[in-house]
Homo-oligomer: A and B are copies of this chain.
Amino acid sequence: MNKDEIKVLLEQVKDNKIDVVQALEQLEDLPFKDLGFAKIDNHRELRVGYPEVIYCEGKTVEQVKDIIKFMLTKNNNILGTRATEEMYDAVKEICEEAEYNKLGRTIVIKKKEQQTTESYIAIVAAGTSDLPVVEEAYETARILGNRVEKIIDVGVAGIHRLFSRLDEIRGAKVVIVIAGMEGALASVIGGLVDKPVIAVPTSVGYGANFGGVAALLSMLNSCASGVTVVNIDNGFGAAYNASIINKL
């Protein structure tokens, strides 16, 4: 409600075209409903196919079940991340179509059909140990309506395997690079493609890896310019970002 609209309203009051109570109703919500930030609240559900998201870690099976029960009432798609199998079993009881990705630890419930993008997100991963993060990213990107291509096991220690998949990677609109240990893959790909690269350090490694810190620092210090980084093991965040970019 901009200045002009308020003016019109006031003139309607003055001219007795609407009464004070009605005018009041429209004005009193002004600060919260009409302000930019208020729109935020509902914008996600409004778009077709945007899922509800629930981060299950640190929640009890009971809590997860209750939250999803409530979400189901909105008839939206639902994505649960970091979910245990036990959680999935509980959710299954209240929702037949719930699907579980064991590696990625995601619960996906599809209530609405959703258009898939033509352009695709490439998810590139260094090793098989990075698969849990790959799968979390994959499920997230999918439920958000993206076409996705996975290119796995192309770590820099055997760099020719990476080159043989280069066309696929370059064909994507945005690239997610997932790597643990020293995370060098992000820099190498960053130097080979001219698309936005979102790097996900994984906690794969041991010793002076410090649960993914080695890969995280490596990616933050990447000598290739086209790389941004998300938190360790944050496959969801990377895919969420990639989806925004893929749909621009």
Residues in chain B near residue A230, CB distance under 8 A: 220, 227-229
A182/B192 contact (C-beta < 8 A), A209-B217, A217-B217, A221-B205 known: no
Copies of this chain per assembly: 8
Residues in chain B near residue A195, CB distance under 8 A: 244, 248
**Nearest-CB residue, chain B, relative to A127:** B223
Looking at chain A's contact residues, the main secondary structure is helix
Contact in complex: A158, B41 (CB < 8 Å): yes
A169 and B186 CA atoms in complex are apart in Å by 23
Contact in complex: B221, A181 (CB < 8 Å): yes
Chain B: minimal CB distance from A219 (Å) = 7
Interface stretch (choices A20-28, A68-76, A88-96, A108-116):
A20-28
Classify chain A: how many residues form its interface, as a range.
Answer: 35 or more
Residues in chain B near residue A231, CB distance under 8 A: 206-209, 220-221
Residues in chain B near residue A48, CB distance under 8 A: none
Most buried by B among A161, A220, A227, A244: A220
Contact in complex: A182, B181 (CB < 8 Å): no
Contact in complex: B184, A188 (CB < 8 Å): yes
What is the 8 Å Cβ interface bit string for chain A, positions 212-235, against chain B (1 contact, 0 not)? 111111111111111111111110
Report, nearest first, the 9 A-B pairs whose CB atoms are least far apart: A207-B232, A184-B184, A228-B228, A157-B191, A214-B217, A182-B218, A207-B231, A36-B166, A182-B221
